[in-house]
Amino acid sequence: MEKVLIANRGEIALRILEACREEGLTAVAVFSEVEREALHVREAPQAVCIGPAPPARSYLSIPALMAACEVTGADALHPGYGFLSESAELAEICHAHGIKFVGPPAPVLKLAGDKLAAKARVAQAGVPTLPGSPALASPEEARRYARELGYPLLLKAAAGGGGRGIRIVSSEEELSAQFPRAQEEARRAFADPRLFLERFLPSPRHVEVQVLADEHGHIVHWGTRDCTVQRRHQKLVEEAPAPGLPPELCQRLAAAAVRAAEALGYVGAGTVEFLVEGEEFYFIEMNARIQVEHPVSEMLVGRNLIREQLRVARGEALGYSQDQIELWGHAMECRINAEDPAQGFAPSCGRLHLHCLPGGVGVRLDTHIYQGMEVLPYYDSLLAKLITYGEDREEARIRMYSALRRFQISGVATNRDVMLEVIAHPDFAAGRLSTDFLERLSPEP
């Protein structure tokens, strides 16, 4: 493994590029026709255009990516997050062509991507799961299981993930109305119309555990992360470790995450997600890729998780055991998105003007933005990940507040002020968190 094609864009493409440089690997960037001036393209020693702006014809095109590997001689491919990062098809095609896919093998991706199959597998390993139904063939079958489980319930796409494909149903009438719509949405979004029901927890914590496994049977965890502050199931603020959880509960979560990864035959960096209610927790899903929020775990462990992925992909052993991993301090991350809170968080496009960017002790900014950059409507609205670190949570929180104030750009609307409101809120400062936090802060009409 000597040359890595980075099958992504934005800040994660830059992170992979830098990790390749540190590992002595050659990196190849890819870009769509409208991103010729992107920062990861400028920084890469080699870059290839893979198609026009629409993702389906560029970043989501497996033939385009394979052609890029062929013309550049890339012998590995790192998918980053989003796009094709959890595509079993891409992993299979890479394997067939002798290209190392930096991630778990195709069978693991297939299993982790099927929420019902993954849930059944980890339950067999003793990991707690929420009561729910099997795959549902019809609204009639859904209503029958719903009567057994009791409302409210979540109607979920079996192939969903990342907060997508989820609807709350509170009555039989609502379930009957939502079922065909959710089924069609799942068919369009995931090419898989299967739905299932799961018990709905109204105000849980969303806690996840970072795991890392090599090809030699070694697996470790990098502690907990809290991703409770969300909007419509999309994470906005993440921190590590998860605040306010008893040490014994954190140990149980970590042990369950390792068991889940072992049960799924996991290799590489992945995240096991849980809902936590009181002293109880329940498996949600396994994210078989690098997570957007991975930097907060890096800050605590002092290692580069992208480099760890590359090392595992090269066939190296982890080289350290669980008792050699020490977690220090506290870290927070805020996602700064190009979206307009005054317009229902609609995406915002335009030319960026940078007035002030944060820095200093305990402040990290992962971003691909630059002066005069055009924010386009084709891709994810993430502009930057602002990360702060402190000896304890309050120090990290205060640094985040100061760093957010110094994050000053114009040309597009952003959610920065909403993040400031969250970080300054007394409930957030006290660690009183639940997945409906943002709705309580500013109820939507």
Residue 342 domain flag: yes
| CATH number of the structural domain spanning residue 223 | 3.30.470.20
Considering the domain architecture, whether residues 181 and 218 belong to the same structural domain is answered as no
Considering the domain architecture, whether residues 404 and 347 belong to the same structural domain is answered as yes
Residue 113 domain flag: no
Considering the domain architecture, whether residues 301 and 216 belong to the same structural domain is answered as yes
Q: How many C-beta neighbours within 10 Å does residue 372 have?
A: 11
Residue 330's pLDDT band, with cuts at 50, 70 and 90, is very high
The domain total for the chain is 3
The conformational region for residue 361 under phi > 0 = left, psi -120 to 50 = alpha, else beta, is beta
Domain encompassing residue 152? 131-199
Considering the domain architecture, whether residues 211 and 184 belong to the same structural domain is answered as no
Classify the C-alpha dihedral 435-112-144-182 as positive or negative. Answer: positive
Residue 145 domain flag: yes
Considering the domain architecture, whether residues 286 and 418 belong to the same structural domain is answered as yes
- Describe the crossing of helices 106-113 and 115-124 by its angle, rounded to 10 degrees: 100
Query: Strands 363-367 and 382-390: what pairing?
Result: antiparallel
Considering the domain architecture, whether residues 163 and 209 belong to the same structural domain is answered as no
Considering the domain architecture, whether residues 361 and 421 belong to the same structural domain is answered as yes
Considering the domain architecture, whether residues 284 and 385 belong to the same structural domain is answered as yes
Long-range contacts of 343-347 (CB under 8 A, 24+ apart): 343/413, 344/444, 345/231, 345/415, 347/377, 347/381
Out of 199, 229, 253, a domain closes at 199
Position 230 scores a pLDDT of 86
Position 445 scores a pLDDT of 42
Residue 62 domain flag: yes
Out of 164, 179, 199, a domain closes at 199
pLDDT digits (tens, 9 = 90+) for 354-410: 999 999 999 999 999 999 999 999 999 999 999 999 999 999 999 999 999 999 999
Cα gap 40→423, rounded to integer Å? 31
pLDDT digits (tens, 9 = 90+) for 99-137: 999 999 999 999 999 999 999 999 999 999 999 999 998
Residues with a known catalytic role = 289
What is the pTM assigned to this prediction? 0.93
